[in-house]
Amino acid sequence: MRSAATNILQGVVILTGVVYIAVGVFFFISPYKAFKLFSVISEEKNTAAVHDFESSGTKNVVVGKVTEEDWLNQINGDDIMSPLYYIFRIFSVLLLINGLAMIMPLFDPLRYRGLVYYNGLCYPFVAAVLIFIFIHTQQATSMKIAADLDLESGAREALARQEAPVVLIILAAVFSVIFIVTAASLIITKKQTKEGRE
């Protein structure tokens, strides 16, 4: 009979597997719908400040809503975005496979403990750190572009305060939680693992 600590570890393994499977399937089926779900766009944000070269100022331009068909047509016609789109979908399948692989530690927690370390600790830690770096880099780039452009102060401040995409923040939070919970469950089961007990 397995101990309570092992049951906690297995619960974390199931949770991690389910999250990986859900995210992988969702992003594979339609990256557009996945990003639209996470994007919080209010009606007020449908305008953008654009530099007007004729009057050397800025003007507000109404930005139309892009449909999934428009988005896919744009991707198919772009030499850079098209490969990225399909590579993105391939990586979402790899995440799905990682989620399915998390079934193995349920049957033999001692033998597949290394898989828990890789899929539950290494992967989410690296993913969360990289997402935070990407967010910081995006914000720093926005501030640099805002400083370099000859815009009115209001438009410059709006560009500099550009927020990180919500999907990045949510995924960073999810990966951080998976890392913390897995680390805690591995620490709880460390002693009995050394003794060779489940």
Domain ranges of the chain: 4-189
Structure confidence by residue, pLDDT tens digits, 82-129: 888 888 889 999 999 999 998 888 888 778 888 999 999 999 999 999
Structure confidence by residue, pLDDT tens digits, 140-166: 777 777 677 666 666 666 665 666 777
Q: Model-level pTM greater than 0.75?
A: no
Give CA 146 to chain center in angstroms: 26
Q: For 149, list phi and psi in degrees, rounded to 5.
A: -75, 145
Mean pLDDT value of segment 155-183: 80
Structure confidence by residue, pLDDT tens digits, 30-87: 887 777 776 654 334 444 555 555 555 555 544 556 677 777 777 777 888 888 888 8
> Which secondary-structure segment (H or E) carries 49?
strand 47-52
Q: Are 142 and 160 in contact (CB under 8 A)?
A: yes
Q: Per-residue pLDDT for 183 more than 90?
A: yes
Q: DSSP code of 124?
A: H
Residue with the larger pLDDT of the pair 193 and 17: 17
- Nearest CA to 106 out of 5, 3, 9 is that of 9
